Amino acid sequence: MKTKVLFTLALSALLSLTSFSQENEKRFGFELSGGPSLATRELDGNKLEKGFGFEGIFHYRFMPHTGVYAGWGWNRFSAESSFAGNSTDFEETGYVFGIQFNHSIYGLLSSYFLRAGALYNHIEVENDNGDIIGDTGHGLGFQLAAGVDIPLGTKWSLTPGVKYNAISAETTLEGVPFQMDYHYMSVRIGILKRF
CA geometry: angle 101, 58, 92, nearest 5 deg: 100
The pLDDT score that the predictor gives to residue 187 is 97
Q: Is residue 156 part of a domain?
A: yes
> Where do the DSSP E strands lie in 40-175?
51-61, 66-82, 85-104, 111-126, 132-135, 139-151, 156-158, 161-173
Q: Is residue 18 part of a domain?
A: no
User: At residue 106, what are phi and psi to the nearest 5 degrees?
Assistant: -50, 125
The pLDDT score that the predictor gives to residue 8 is 53
Q: What is the pTM of this model?
A: 0.81
Structural domains counted in the chain: 1
CA geometry: angle 37, 39, 44, nearest 5 deg: 145
Q: State the residue range of the domain holding 134.
A: 27-194
- For 6, the 3-state DSSP assignment is helix
Q: Is residue 45 part of a domain?
A: yes
Q: Is residue 8 part of a domain?
A: no
- What does the pLDDT look like over 150-185, one tens digit per residue? 999 889 999 999 999 999 988 887 777 888 888 999
Q: Is residue 13 part of a domain?
A: no
Tally of CB atoms within 10 A around 15:
10
Tally of CB atoms within 10 A around 45:
8
Q: Is residue 128 part of a domain?
A: yes
Q: Is residue 11 part of a domain?
A: no
Q: Is residue 5 part of a domain?
A: no
Distance of CA 178 to the CA centre of its chain: 27
The pLDDT score that the predictor gives to residue 38 is 96
Judge whether 77 and 39 are in contact, CB under 8 Å. Answer: yes
d(CA 116, CA 3): 48
Look up the CATH number of the domain holding residue 116: 2.40.160.20
- What does the pLDDT look like over 108-142, one tens digit per residue? 889 999 999 999 999 998 888 888 888 899 999 99
pLDDT tier for residue 44 given thresholds of 50, 70 and 90: confident
Distances from the Cα of 76 to the Cα of 58, 95, 126, 141, angstroms: 22, 15, 10, 16
Average pLDDT along the chain:
86
Judge whether 195 and 155 are in contact, CB under 8 Å. Answer: yes
